[in-house]
Amino acid sequence: MGVSLVNAAVPVAVTTSATQLYTVPTNYTRDVVISNAGPGVIYLGGSVMATTATQYLALPANESVLLSGQSEAVYAITASGTATAYVGNATNVLVS
């Protein structure tokens, strides 16, 4: 699998309050790449994110995740402090 960014990744500060990282376009869905530049873990989830961060998908520092065909908004939160997430649209290509 190869992933190519369609646009430049945008930095977003993630704190202990849920922060929206991605808004779904109204006429199509996109693949979304979220990278955590750290320094701490960020937790990803939907619009119902509560203040308890650890109940969501953990994305460790210096790691990325590809959300293929994302059709819902994506939010992030930290358990403490601030981390930087980079968000970009991508094309997921399967090469065999």
Structure confidence at residue 62 (pLDDT):
95
Over residues 21-32, mean pLDDT: 76
Looking at the domain that runs over 2-93, which CATH code has it been given? 2.60.120.770
Structure confidence at residue 30 (pLDDT):
72
Please give the model's pTM, rounded to 2 decimal places: 0.79
Q: How far is CA 63 from CA 48, 50, 73, 78, in A?
A: 24, 23, 20, 15
